[in-house]
Amino acid sequence: MRTFIRSVVAVVAGFLLMWPLGYAYAALGWPTFHLWGLMHGTFVAAWPVLSILAFLALGYLPLFRRIDDTALLIAGLVWGLLLTTGFNIRHALGFAIAYGLLSATTVVVAVLCIFAKHRLRLALLVISPLVFLNLDLLLAPPALEQFLSRAIFDLKALLPPVAFSLAGYVLGSLARLAIKRWPRTAALH
């Protein structure tokens, strides 16, 4: 029952958090999640991500149980929102900057995965805002005969972010393994 209450509160809070997000993006002059963008389609990415953020943050209240790696998941989702902001306008910024953002995502995911217990969940959650935003099927479902071709097109656009995030997962896992196997010197008595 607590999980249900927490989920409902998180969904409502995610919806309400879109306004401060929109005002913050408008004040900073950033694209994608400003108020106009939220009203014209980017809410499909912002609402679920902010709901997940609210769900994780509610774990810090004594009433609800905290999920493993809560702080790391929140940091990853915040980076995911920032990544989505830049990656959504990659045609205007240029593909060099877009792939620079994806490379930075690899580094961020690798660093977060060093400390995380559930690394794959973290790696996939970081790119979830981008996944929600690029699945145009969610916003305007095509006719049934076009569904498969449209789904394949949308999923092909997600391959680079998924690949870079999974590369960060692999690098973080290898770094964690190397740190665990690092020879420790015996303390001198």
Q: Are 130 and 48 in contact (CB under 8 A)?
A: no
Domain boundaries, the chain: 1-67, 68-189
Q: Are 53 and 33 in contact (CB under 8 A)?
A: no
pLDDT over 80 at 186, yes or no: no
pLDDT tens, 29-88? 888 888 888 888 888 889 999 999 999 999 999 999 999 999 999 999 999 999 998 888
CA distance 1 to 161: 36
pLDDT tens, 120-167? 999 999 999 998 888 777 677 778 778 888 888 888 888 999 999 999
* pTM for the model: 0.85
Biggest CA pair distance of the chain: 76
pLDDT tens, 99-124? 999 999 999 999 999 999 999 999 99
Q: Is 183 left (phi over 0), alpha (psi -120 to 50) or beta?
A: beta
Q: Are 83 and 101 in contact (CB under 8 A)?
A: yes
Q: Where are the alpha helices (DSSP H) in 17-146?
A: 18-28, 35-37, 43-58, 70-88, 90-93, 95-115, 119-126, 128-134
3-class state of residue 138 by DSSP: coil
